[in-house]
Structure 1
């Protein structure tokens, strides 16, 4: 199947601002670990974690530093290079989640930082289905993205639409919140914890 360009790829040079902004925040000592803190409490020590769209590596590196066995996958070569410079101890695979060969059995798959809103058009269910197939027993999925105020090149992905797509792929909503600190759902940002439907 030919490669389908993601919304991230189609945004071109605008995506450079993302890595530069996060690099500044990290250099300034800002708290950029909200996603990783929540991910950490969702799994036992030494869990297998897959970070899809790992970006500059901040979430994956933090989880690795807390003793988890992390697989980081990022398709953007510039972000992969930035990740390797910033976190040299973190192995990152440059690949699209629909094209990379991975062994199932993950305790947690992380899809944060608007990853679901940057996918290639029409591939949302493919990605969620792939993620579902990669989970081990008791595995869960952490998703987070803007509902408004996000990047211009990201799609608008209403909560009810994502939840319908997840259910169609065998994933149910365990939790929906408005932040990684588990504030109530709001209009600006959504966080979900998903798990496989039924026994």
Structure 2
């Protein structure tokens, strides 16, 4: 694969990342901020896609909160680790470009941990199109990523606008700090028309 994730991370680094959040949780760190953010805007029992889920950390936290979740990630190492860390959590080893109609429909999709900036360069709009095909009309797509990478907030806005997605919110953190052009992180909420 030629995604930025695989190009920038060795196999050893990816294996270490597979236990990163488990280590943080064991040390008493809060690892559920993204899930709380998404849960606050979702009806109880919503069908939610955790796209680029890694080990399924966000999906697991949303499942505990009563949602019907699916995690999908192109990194089989992370998916295998997630199946060990969260037995029974539905996780699939799949590139987001290959999302299938039968995977959904989803009321909401979340791509939390820099997913958009770790995709293969030039495929970002294609991933948004794939999401557009599995999120229900009127459903939301939530994306969070660092603003210092090749794929920018302006590019995201352009690609989302081409799909007719409606911007609802943008924050500088998952804790809803106000957005400003100097923010080093962007959390953006779009709604599919419908």
Whether these two folds match at TM > 0.5 is yes
Aligned-residue offset at 1:26: 2.0
Partner residue, 1:89: 88
Q: Structure 1 residues 73, 102: closer, same or farther in 2, change over 3 A? A: farther
Q: Does the CA-based 8 Å contact 1:146-1:188 persist in structure 2?
A: yes
Q: Aligned pair 1:188/2:191, yes or no?
A: no
SS at match of 2:35: helix
Q: Aligned pair 1:122/2:116, yes or no?
A: no
- Alignment length (residue pairs): 189
Question: Which residue among 6, 11, 14 is the counterpart of 1:9?
Answer: 6
Q: Does the CA-based 8 Å contact 2:99-2:134 persist in structure 1?
A: no
Partner residue, 1:106: 106
The CA RMSD over aligned residues, in Å, is 1.6
Partner residue, 2:63: 64
TM-score where L is the length of structure 2? 0.90
Q: Does the CA-based 8 Å contact 2:53-2:73 persist in structure 1?
A: yes
Q: Structure 1 residues 12, 189: closer, same or farther in 2, change over 3 A? A: closer
Partner residue, 1:174: 168
TM-score where L is the length of structure 1? 0.88
Alpha-carbon distance in 2 for matches of 1:178, 1:89: 33
Query: More displaced, 128-137 or 12-21?
Result: 12-21
SS at match of 1:98: helix
Aligned-residue offset at 1:20: 3.5
Which contiguous aligned blocks of 4+ residues in structure 1 show a shift greater than 4 angstroms?
none
Q: Aligned pair 1:161/2:147, yes or no?
A: no
Partner residue, 2:140: 140
Alpha-carbon distance in 2 for matches of 1:194, 1:161: 14
Alpha-carbon distance in 2 for matches of 1:20, 1:11: 18
Alpha-carbon distance in 1 for matches of 2:82, 2:124: 25
